[in-house]
């Protein structure tokens, strides 16, 4: 098995009792109404049921005992005749219910929703019940997404390279589009629909204006047409200077009438190709990208101009808050807040400001971004990174649900205790009328989609949490493991545990105790705590760890950059003092002496060493755990993960030794007794870094 089928393998179920129960309880499928979405729903059911149950389940037009009845009250008289309308009324456009009911005196299982896409989502949930061996004899399930826009962001370039992609090239084959519809596009849509993802931004945030030209729009249309039955909307990145680059205008000033008209026409043109086009994602005035500030305007001016261009068609603009500039002589962690907070309330209704989970950049651990909670009048959208730019790329097994949950569950305290980031993002804290969550995709044209097989779990958990952020990491891992591998508990228990610990393990061997941004320069692979003297200070490592003979860490309290003041008083209290600051964020918020005592009773130097060593040792444990599962996994996937875990262990040791040796040059203390000595010298590790050229 090469992993291509993801969590949708649909192989014959192994448990004989469950198999019997399912066969008995699903005697036929009755779908009333017709639409492209209902057609793919039926196809999916046929595929799933014939595979999982090993028999074809017939489609029928009359109700019989144990039928599976699907539809909406609008297109199915049968569903309409049932007593579910009041329940459905609470489920919105995308929610669904699955109930065991009596239909005309016959016991039946009903999958009902207010829209065909809701029916499709319910169907995937029903299929999952079978895949994960749940009892289906008495069902009463209902579910509604907590967030409206659940979107993948592909950082895919038109030449098919993928920025920060580690799973091959882009799955969009622009050359063969629009005429060639790769089966992958359909399987991609199926996978996304199965976890409730309802939007995809096809192109890199470092945008190329050519995507907005007719030659590409016809290709975009072909993808949108393919995805539409699955409820997946297409969005594009808008290069702010497009009016100049492809429009022949002299300026891209958002207040210029010609520029406004150009974007309006462009948007109208896009809608002729894609009538349900979702809108634009924009990276502006960040890392060299053009934007409104080039013309003395602000982010709201830029976002609103684009928002006006798509408003009449129901489009939205996702305007990114990932901005920082090394010409601003302040802590990078503060800059987005400084620029965006004053603009609260100044954005159009169809604008979402898209904010990364933390204030720096997708590090293994960051505190939540201070903008969450700080813009009550502006819907803020979460941006997580699924691709593992800073998390060992595609060779490291790290399950990210705990990372996402840590941010979502964090308390902003802006309306008292319990004002979690999740409540900001789902709109309940500030009554946002538009809500969203984006995940930077880890998908490429590798046969298994994500490079590392366990990367699939990150795509999966992103979708699940965007739908329902109250799900636990453990529950999501359990679902994914059952569908991807097996329902055997002897496999599930240890591997679930391994997944749950994997993120903390990675934090320990890369950036323990709140360290951050100490990776290799530019490529971001491997350790690079020694990176300094680059063209931008905020692209070096020394900027962030501030190690000196006295101590280590970034003072972000009032005695330092005071970034902490951007948070509500409750958060300031929590992190304000080194003595009481939760250890995961100690060196994020504080500069402490090497002999500072942490909770374990060790000095910070000793603790750093212990964390690096225990992190690396844990990868050794992961290898043992995986090796013990050989009899539950096919040889191809077993060996794939086994080989990658070996690489991961080498990388973890590399991080450990490089970082410990480097920080030791400041701490001037021995590596604590009992910990093995690094194999090589610091110079050796520095030379390992392909981009380490001192002084440049
Ligand atoms: C950083 C990446 C860079 C992206 C940037 C962004 O290193 O490639 O373009 O984020 O999010 O993480 O715009």
Q: Is 287 a catalytic residue?
A: yes
Please check the confidence at residue 452 and state whether its pLDDT lies above 50. Answer: yes
> Closest ligand 1 atom to the C-alpha of 440?
11
The full set of domains in the chain, from first to last, is: 16-143 (3.30.379.10), 149-472 (3.20.20.80), 507-554+591-688 (3.90.1330.10)
**Mean pLDDT value across residues 670-684:** 96
Residues with CB under 6 A from ligand 1: 163-164, 205-206, 283, 287, 322, 361-362, 389
Buried b (16+ CB within 10 A) or exposed e, 395-407: bbbbbbbbbbbbb
The helix or strand, by DSSP H or E, that contains position 100, with its residue range, turns out to be strand 96-103
CB 442 within 8 Å of CB 459: yes
Please check the confidence at residue 691 and state whether its pLDDT lies above 70. Answer: no
Please check the confidence at residue 353 and state whether its pLDDT lies above 50. Answer: yes
**Mean pLDDT value across residues 128-151:** 98
Q: Is 361 a catalytic residue?
A: yes
**Separation CA 169–CA 577 (nearest Å):** 46
**Separation CA 428–CA 229 (nearest Å):** 30
Q: Ligand 1 pocket: which of 164, 364, 366 to mutate (most atoms <8 Å of CB)?
A: 164
Q: Is 607 a catalytic residue?
A: no
Rounded to the nearest angstrom, the distance between the alpha carbon of 286 and the centre of ligand 1 is: 9
> Closest ligand 1 atom to the C-alpha of 289?
13
Nearest CA to ligand 1 atom 2: 164
Rounded to the nearest angstrom, the distance between the alpha carbon of 337 and the centre of ligand 1 is: 18
pLDDT digits (tens, 9 = 90+) for 537-575: 999 999 999 999 999 999 999 999 999 999 999 999 999
Residue 233's region, left for phi above 0, alpha for psi from -120 to 50, else beta, is beta
- Banded model confidence at residue 693, pLDDT cuts 50, 70, 90: very low
CB 398 within 8 Å of CB 111: no
Nearest CA to ligand 1 atom 1: 361
Position 420 scores a pLDDT of: 98
Please check the confidence at residue 163 and state whether its pLDDT lies above 90. Answer: yes
Rounded to the nearest angstrom, the distance between the alpha carbon of 607 and the centre of ligand 1 is: 31
**Mean pLDDT value across residues 621-649:** 98
pLDDT digits (tens, 9 = 90+) for 6-53: 999 999 999 999 999 999 999 999 999 999 999 999 999 999 999 999
304 vs 317, 350, 493, CA distance in Å? 8, 9, 50
Whole-number percent of the chain with pLDDT over 70: 99
Q: What are phi and psi of 142, to 5 degrees?
A: -140, 150
Position 244 scores a pLDDT of: 98
pLDDT digits (tens, 9 = 90+) for 391-405: 999 999 999 999 999
**Separation CA 664–CA 548 (nearest Å):** 10
- Banded model confidence at residue 694, pLDDT cuts 50, 70, 90: very low
- Give the alpha-carbon dihedral of 95, 101, 106, 109, to 10 degrees: 40
Nearest CA to ligand 1 atom 10: 361
Please check the confidence at residue 182 and state whether its pLDDT lies above 60. Answer: yes
Rounded to the nearest angstrom, the distance between the alpha carbon of 206 and the centre of ligand 1 is: 8
**Separation CA 674–CA 445 (nearest Å):** 45
pLDDT digits (tens, 9 = 90+) for 242-277: 999 999 999 999 999 999 999 999 999 999 999 999
Position 327 scores a pLDDT of: 84
240 cis-preceded (ω within 30 degrees of 0): no
pTM, to two decimals: 0.98
Position 692 scores a pLDDT of: 52
129 vs 59, 458, 464, 471, CA distance in Å? 20, 20, 15, 16
* Average pLDDT value for the chain: 97
Beta bridge partners of 279: 235, 316
**Separation CA 461–CA 502 (nearest Å):** 14
Residues ≥6 apart with Cβ < 8 Å to 660: 608, 609, 612, 613, 671, 678
CB 337 within 8 Å of CB 380: no
* From 94, 339, 361, 406, the catalytic residue: 361
Position 690 scores a pLDDT of: 63
Position 688 scores a pLDDT of: 80
Please check the confidence at residue 696 and state whether its pLDDT lies above 70. Answer: no
ipTM surpasses cut 0.85: yes
Closest CA to 377 of 419, 418, 340: 340
Ranking 71-85, 253-267, 602-616 by mean pLDDT, the lowest is 71-85
CB 369 within 8 Å of CB 427: no
Please check the confidence at residue 406 and state whether its pLDDT lies above 60. Answer: yes
**Mean pLDDT value across residues 623-632:** 98
> Closest ligand 1 atom to the C-alpha of 385?
12
Position 85 scores a pLDDT of: 87
């Amino acid at each position: 098995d090469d992993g291509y089928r993801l969590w949708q393998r649909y192989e014959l179920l192994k448990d004989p009792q469950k198999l019997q129960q399912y066969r008995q309880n699903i005697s036929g499928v009755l779908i009333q109404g017709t639409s492209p979405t209902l057609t793919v729903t039926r196809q999916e059911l046929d595929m799933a049921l014939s595979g999982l149950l090993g028999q074809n389940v017939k489609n029928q037009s009359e109700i019989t005992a144990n039928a599976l009845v699907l539809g909406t009250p609008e297109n199915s008289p049968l569903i309409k005749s049932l007593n579910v309308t009041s329940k459905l009324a609470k489920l919105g456009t995308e929610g669904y219910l699955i109930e065991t009911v009596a239909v005309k005196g016959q016991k039946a299982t009903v999958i009902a929703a207010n829209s065909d896409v809701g029916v499709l989502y319910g169907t995937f949930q029903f299929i999952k019940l079978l895949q994960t061996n749940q009892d289906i004899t008495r069902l009463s399930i209902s579910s509604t997404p907590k967030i409206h826009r659940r979107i993948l962001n592909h950082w895919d370039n038109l030449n098919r390279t993928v920025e920060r992609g580690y799973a091959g090239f882009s799955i969009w084959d622009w050359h063969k589009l629009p005429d060639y519809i790769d089966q992958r596009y359909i399987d991609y849509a199926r996978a996304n629909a199965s976890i409730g993802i309802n939007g995809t931004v096809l192109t890199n945030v470092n945008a190329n204006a050519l995507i907005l030209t007719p030659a590409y729009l016809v290709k975009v249309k072909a993808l949108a047409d393919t995805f539409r039955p699955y409820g997946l909307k297409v969005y594009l990145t808008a290069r702010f200077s497009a009016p100049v680059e492809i429009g022949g205008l002299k300026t891209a000033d958002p207040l210029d009438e010609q520029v406004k008209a150009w974007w309006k026409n462009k948007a109208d043109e896009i809608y002729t190709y894609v009538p349900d086009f979702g809108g634009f994602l924009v990276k502006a005035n960040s890392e060299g990208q053009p934007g409104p500030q080039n013309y003395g305007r602000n982010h709201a001016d830029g976002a609103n101009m684009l928002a006006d261009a798509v408003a009449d068609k129901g489009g939205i603009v996702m305007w990114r808050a990932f901005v920082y500039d090394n010409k601003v002589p302040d802590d990078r962690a503060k800059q987005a807040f400084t620029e965006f907070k004053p603009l609260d309330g100044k954005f159009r209704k169809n604008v979402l400001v898209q904010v990364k989970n933390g204030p720096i950049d997708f590090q293994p651990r960051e505190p939540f971004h201070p903008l969450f909670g700080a813009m009550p009048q502006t819907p803020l959208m979460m941006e997580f990174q699924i691709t593992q730019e800073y998390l060992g790329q595609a060779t490291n097994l790290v399950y990210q649900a705990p990372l996402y949950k840590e941010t979502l569950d964090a308390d902003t305290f802006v309306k008292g205790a319990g004002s979690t980031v999740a409540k900001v993002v789902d709109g309940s804290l500030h009554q946002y009328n538009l809500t969203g969550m984006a995940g930077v995709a880890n998908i490429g044209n590798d046969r298994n989609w994500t490079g590392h097989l366990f990367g699939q779990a990150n795509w999966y958990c992103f979708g699940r949490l965007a739908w329902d952020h109250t799900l636990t990491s453990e529950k999501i891992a359990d679902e994914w493991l059952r569908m991807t591998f097996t329902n055997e508990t002897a496999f599930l228990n240890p591997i679930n545990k391994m997944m749950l610990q994997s993120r903390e393990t990675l934090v320990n061997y890369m950036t323990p105790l709140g360290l951050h941004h100490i990776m290799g320069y530019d490529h971001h692979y491997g350790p690079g705590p020694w990176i300094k003297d680059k063209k931008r200070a905020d692209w070096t490592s020394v900027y962030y760890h501030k190690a000196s003979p006295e101590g280590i860490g970034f003072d972000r309290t009032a005695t330092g950059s005071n970034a902490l003041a951007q948070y509500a008083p409750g958060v300031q209290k929590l992190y304000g003092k080194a003595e009481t600051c939760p250890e995961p964020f100690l060196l994020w918020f504080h500069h402490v002496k090497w002999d500072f005592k942490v909770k374990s009773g060790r000095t910070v130097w000793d603790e750093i060493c212990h964390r690096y060593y225990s992190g690396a040792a844990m990868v050794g444990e992961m290898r043992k755990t995986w090796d013990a599962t050989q009899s539950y996994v096919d040889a191809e996937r077993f060996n794939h993960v086994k080989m990658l875990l070996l690489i991961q262990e080498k990388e973890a040791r590399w991080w450990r030794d490089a970082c410990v040796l480097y920080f030791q040059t400041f701490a001037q203390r021995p590596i604590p007794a009992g910990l093995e000595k690094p194999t090589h010298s610091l110079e050796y590790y520095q030379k390992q870094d392909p981009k380490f050229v001192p002084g440049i």
